[in-house]
Structure 1
């Protein structure tokens, strides 16, 4: 089974991102998406409305909207829709996804789904929690077999895309910096994990499905994120990657063209 260079770099720890523990870190804001009404909350190519208004979020004065990007190993990134499944969490439906269980989660069969969160302030994310996940509820359909729940947390570190930016304006991949990778979050207590974020702050954060090297197809729905609010008023992409990290991010972008599709057992 082939993996893209993108997946390989994420899997084998080329980036200095650290998974810490399932315990929740100190936070001063949080967003729990379990109270969102079921249905599409962001059509492909658009942001949702304020989730603070449409969902009973718990937060510390930080507004948040959701969008999605689907990443391909053989083509340009594409738009995707964000769908709420109530207490199961938020999923992503891309152009190659069906309505079947697994493919309507944040998954990495066919395309690598990512949920993008747009905050009203610069924030740091240091904990994530998922609801439905393929570790607890493995499933198979016409797309493949989903049986794992690895995820990656990334921050937008490139230039401010502007007030009218759409989710797909937050490309290329080299504009994102890997902050943490959490293998098999569905196996952790409470389906949640905390991690060190290196002090990175941004208005845009991405939760993506990735492979940890175990060749499983990952799928999960995002239930909650939490972190700390920045005291500064710097623009969304306020962190500049170190030269070595920037070179690796460029290699990731090149590596997106090495393989298109990963199926269980192929």
Structure 2
């Protein structure tokens, strides 16, 4: 199979981590919802509705330590107001049709913030082999700067935090809470929300990534699984590719066509690191 040579002057490729390079925390949320009789996307709606001052958003900016995060996260998601938020969400999806199920049919539960987050983290320990191989090919080509741009959480400082991170399976005592060190070695630049105090979709974090890569937004390609993040990047002039859940191969095919490189493992003529 021949690959068309790209004539566009892209110099950098920026990857989201969760939902792109590794499994999506959304899969963990879905499992928790099913086990507790909650309707699909109920928890995500509740998280989003909290806005930038919600526990999850604050945690990703490095503003909360793990124990406090668990407490506030669970309390926010257990609030009955979330039933109304979910009803509004269903109504908006149905074009304002009032035939959406009543919020009274949603079970009242107390969400365990620690357990839910462990479900979410467990999914991010799984590397997507298709994306990982593409990263190796891109690095071997020496044609592009490669970056990770991720909303994440702070490295553990206190002993109680380090023990909790170890329980996630993301590092031992004194270790950095990254899922797989080999994956991180693929990137020239890593921009983490918990380190820089900004989180996607804030345009400032995209500009910061470009600044560290020494490229303009128009010279960058951005892959993410979240629409609002892609919209923010696109508004800055970036070329965007959406990675649908379970369809990373389709996204890498799009990237392959843009960059003019073979990015799949069955290609034997690509020298790997």
| TM-score w.r.t. length of structure 2 | 0.27
Say which structure is richer in strand: 1
| TM-score w.r.t. length of structure 1 | 0.28
